[in-house]
Amino acid sequence: MKHYFVADAHLGSRLFDDNDAKNRHFIEWLNMATTEKSEIFLLGDIFDFWFEFAHAIPPGFDDVLQALRSATQQGTRIHFYCGNHDQWTFGYLQDYCGLIIHKTGDFIDISGKKFYLAHGHGLGEKRLATRILNRIFESSTAQWLFRHLMIPRLGYAFGYRWSARNRKKHDSIENNNRHHNYYEHHTTDSNAFQVVWAKQFSANHPDVDYIIMGHLHKEINMRLSTGCQLLILDEFYKNYGFATFDGTNLWPENFESNTL
């Protein structure tokens, strides 16, 4: 039995030229992962902006949602861990697509091994503005207000703009300004926020064999001093990173498409 992990497809991003091709690529991966008896873990930010209004879901994902639905109807268990871009699901993904929703990171046993799975946002986060924003996004009051007072069309326009700005800011910091605040805590793989967090977490939970996360959009695969394997997945819009666990080994790969 195989277990597949993927994160950060950011489907629907306004920064992509051809969203239909990105959607098809993701569906291809899903079909690959569903052909044998398997379990699938979507580790956050699969959608660039997912928000369920009372009578509206984000447009443009019919094929993706249908593919998820038919995969779970065939008996494949698919877990959806909320990322910072797609945490606003209030029943649709569970009821229509049959996904198992995880609002936060959690422990899970797979083939006798202990895993900790999460999207990764907020873990070890030192930047105050980001921490405050995370709290607002997770607040049920703020979610209720947005859900009931916002017109869906405006809500999505706002959401996708916010998402694209967020991505551009992140990319320009990463590419152009290595002295920016972001890098004070983040100069190498081993002192990236999430890695620092994982080392401490692993020391406190030495029984955990594997930690898998996304969010960084950069593959980091390292053995921690406790023996735990930490794998941060590459994104799934350029390098198409994902990971497989076959019961003995966990390894990252890049998905080759036939259509892109």
Nearer to Mn ion, 130 or 226 (CB): 130
- Binding track, positions 99-128, relative to Mn ion; x by CB under 5 A: ----------------------x-------
User: Residue 173 class from Cβ within 10 Å (0-12 exposed, 13-18 middle, 19+ buried)?
Assistant: middle
Q: Does 38 bind Mn ion (CB under 5 A)?
A: no
- Which residue has the closest beta carbon to Mn ion? 215
Q: How far apart are CA 137 and CA 103, in angstroms?
A: 12
| Residue from the set 22, 167, 199, 215 that interacts with Mn ion by CB under 5 A | 215
Minimum Å distance from CB 227 to Mn ion?
Answer: 27
Q: Which range, of 56-64, 66-74, 75-83, 154-162, touches Mn ion by CB under 5 A?
A: 75-83
Minimum Å distance from CB 121 to Mn ion?
Answer: 5
Report strand pairing: 229-232 vs 220-223. Answer: antiparallel
Determine the size of the site formed for Mn ion (CB under 5 A). 5
Strand partners, 245: 3, 250
| Residue from the set 38, 84, 163, 229 that interacts with Mn ion by CB under 5 A | 84
- Would you give the DSSP letter of residue 76? -
Minimum Å distance from CB 105 to Mn ion?
Answer: 13
Say if CB 40 and CB 30 are below 8 A apart.
yes
Minimum Å distance from CB 45 to Mn ion?
Answer: 4
Q: How many Cβ atoms are within 10 Å of 62's Cβ, its own excluded?
A: 10
| DSSP SS3 for 88 | strand
Q: How far apart are CA 204 and CA 98, in angstroms?
A: 34
Nearer to Mn ion, 25 or 121 (CB): 121
Question: Measuring CA to CA, which residue among 55, 57, 84, 87 is closest to residue 69?
Answer: 57
Q: How far apart are CA 38 and CA 153, in angstroms?
A: 37
Nearer to Mn ion, 152 or 214 (CB): 214
Question: Measuring CA to CA, which residue among 54, 57, 48, 47 is closest to residue 149?
Answer: 54
Minimum Å distance from CB 85 to Mn ion?
Answer: 6
Q: Does 83 bind Mn ion (CB under 5 A)?
A: yes
| Residue from the set 5, 34, 40, 45 that interacts with Mn ion by CB under 5 A | 45
Minimum Å distance from CB 46 to Mn ion?
Answer: 10
| Residues that bind Mn ion in the complex, under the rule CB under 5 A | 45, 83-84, 121, 215
